[in-house]
Chains A and B, each alone.
Chain A
Amino acid sequence: MKHLITFASAREASRATRLMESEKLDIVVTATPEDISAECGIAILVSPEQIEACMKIITDNKIAAEVYERP
C-alpha cells in the first residue's frame, strides 16, 4: 500500500518536492488521479517506509496537503 500526497496548489507541491528531495527521500511525482480532488495536478507517491518522514516535512513547513492510501 503506497501513500499519495496531494497539494492545494502548485506552489505547495513545489515546496514539498524540493524539501523532500533535499532530504533524499524516495518519492515519485505523479499526476493527481481523477478520483481525488483536483486542487492541484501534481501529487507525490510515497512508500510506507518514507511516509513518516514526508509527513514531518509537510507538518514542519505548514504545507497544505492531504494524504491518501493507494494500492
Chain B
Amino acid sequence: MATRNGYFDNGATSYPKPPECAEYIARYLSECGGTYGRGSYERVLRATDMVERCRERMAEIMGVAEPASVTFGCNASFGVAVILRGFDFRHGRVLISPLEHNAVTRELEMLRQTMSLTVEVAEHSRDGAIDIPRLKAQNIDAYDMVIVCHQSNVNGLTQNLDGISEAVGGRAPLFVDMSQSLGHVEPRLDDRNVDFAIWTGHKGLLGPTGVGGCFIRNHEKVRPLVLGGTGSNSDSYEMPNRVPDKFEAGTPPLVPIAGLLGSLENRPENRHSRNDFHALLERCKAIKSLTVLCADDTAMQGELFSVVCDKMSVAMLNHRLWHEYAIECRSGLHCAPLAHKTLGSMPHGSVRISPSPYHTKEDFDALATALEEICR
C-alpha cells in the first residue's frame, strides 16, 4: 500500500521540500560558505552570485522587471515592518481587506496606538471577497495605502487583483500580502501596478524557513528600518540610498537563500489536478455536520480551506484527525482573527486544510474519508 501523505498544513509551512532544497544548502555550507558582497575572492563571488540569482528568480515569479526592488530578510513579517514603519502616513488612514493576517494587522494596530492611524475594512461579500465596484466608488485618494491579502490563509479566497488594481487606479499605493499565494498564483506585480508586497520562502515556494521579505517599487517612499553594514558606502554612517542595500543591513540569510534557490530551480510537477482538489472540497461540503469556509466563487478558490464540525470542537476534530488518521492540520485562529471575524468563525476558529503539489488524489480521498468518518 502506498504511504499516504497526511501532512495538510502547508499553509503553515510546506513539506516535503524538493530534495534540491537541502542539497543546495549542504553544497553552499560544505563547498562555499562565503558571505555576500564583502570581499573580492572566489568564495564571496560565488555566494554573492547565488544570492543574486535567487533574487532574479524571485523577481520573475513576482512579475517585476527590477530584481533590486526585491528585498531578502528573514520572513514576510519582517517585510511588513520594513514597509509600514518606513512609510509616511500623511492622511493617517489605510484601507484593508477583511481577510488580513496578523503580520499586517498587528503592525497596523501598533500604528493605530502610536500615531492614531485609522484602519478601515473594505466592503466585501460574506467570503471576504472585496466588492470591486464599491471599492472603485470610494474616495481612494483619502487613503495612504490599500492593503490586500492576496490569498487568505483561512478560506483560501484569492482576491481579484486585476479588479482591485483597476479600482484603486493608482490613487493610493497598493500593498499586496503574497505570503500564501506565491507559488500558487502569479501576482504579476508590474502588470497590476502594485507598489508594495511581502513574501515568504517557506510556503508555496517550497523553500526553507528563514527567508522572506518584501518588494518596494519606489524605495524613495520608504525609510530603512534596520541600519547596519551593507558592504557598500562603508565610509558613511548612513545607509546607502540604493536598493537592495538600503533594506538589507547585515549579512543576508545565505543558508535559506541557498535552499530557496534549490527549490525554485527544481519545482515538482503537481501530483493532483485542480479537479481532484475540487472533488475533495465537494466531499467536505457534502458532510452534514461540517461547515466549509471557502470562496463562494470557485474561480477565486485557492488550494486551501477550513472546516468546522458542529459535533465537536475544532481542537477535538484536529486531535482525532492526527491520533486516529495521522492527518496533520492546524486548528485555531491561524494568526488571522480578522479573517475569522469576517467569516463568522470567531472565537472558535477552524481546522485548516492546506495541500501541496505533492498531494495525490488518493491522499485527498483518504482525508475526505477521515472527515466523513469522524463527523458522521
**Which single member of B44, B52, B245 contacts A15 (CB below 8 Å)?**
B52
Q: For chain B residues 226-258, which have a beta carbon within 8 Å of chain A?
A: 230-235, 240, 242, 244-245
A66 to B68, CA, bound (A): 19
Q: For chain A residues 21-63, which have a beta carbon within 8 Å of chain B?
A: 29-32, 38-43
Query: Size of chain B's interface in residues, with CB distance under 8 A?
Result: 25
A14 to B40, CA, bound (A): 10
**A30-B40 in contact (CB<8A):** yes
Helix, strand, loop or mixed for chain A's interface?
Answer: mixed
Contacts of B245 in A (CB 8 A): 9-11
B41 closest partner in A (C-beta):
A29
On whether A10 and B36 interact (CB within 8 A), knowing A15-B52, A18-B49, A29-B45, the answer reads yes
**Which single member of B36, B49, B232 contacts A39 (CB below 8 Å)?**
B232
Contacts of A65 in B (CB 8 A): none
**B40-A10 in contact (CB<8A):** no
Helix, strand, loop or mixed for chain B's interface?
Answer: loop
Q: Which of B40, B44, B244, B245 has its CB near the most chain A CB atoms (within 10 A)?
A: B40
A9 to B55, CA, bound (A): 14
Q: Which of A9, A30, A39, A41 has its CB near the most chain B CB atoms (within 10 A)?
A: A9
List chain B positions with a Cβ less than 8 A from chain A: 36-41, 44-45, 48-49, 51-52, 55, 67-68, 230-235, 240, 242, 244-245
The 10 tightest CB contacts between A and B, nearest first, are A10-B37, A14-B52, A31-B40, A38-B235, A38-B234, A14-B48, A40-B232, A42-B40, A29-B40, A9-B245
Contacts of A13 in B (CB 8 A): 37, 48
**B231-A41 in contact (CB<8A):** yes
**Which single member of A8, A15, A31 contacts B39 (CB below 8 Å)?**
A31
Contacts of A14 in B (CB 8 A): 37, 45, 48-49, 51-52
**A11-B49 in contact (CB<8A):** no
Q: What 15 additional pairs, Cβ within 8 angstroms, besides A10-B52, A14-B51?
A: A8-B242, A9-B240, A9-B242, A10-B232, A11-B67, A11-B244, A14-B48, A17-B49, A18-B49, A30-B40, A38-B235, A41-B37, A41-B40, A42-B37, A64-B242
A7 closest partner in B (C-beta):
B232
List chain A positions with a Cβ less than 8 A from chain B: 8-11, 13-15, 17-18, 29-32, 38-43, 64
| Whole-angstrom distance between the Cβ of B247 and the nearest chain A Cβ | 12
**Which single member of B67, B68, B234, B244 contacts A41 (CB below 8 Å)?**
B234
Q: List 17 A-B contacts (CB under 8 A).
A: A8-B242, A9-B245, A10-B37, A10-B52, A13-B48, A14-B45, A15-B52, A29-B40, A30-B40, A38-B233, A39-B232, A39-B233, A41-B40, A41-B231, A42-B37, A42-B44, A43-B40
| Whole-angstrom distance between the Cβ of B31 and the nearest chain A Cβ | 18
**A10-B242 in contact (CB<8A):** no
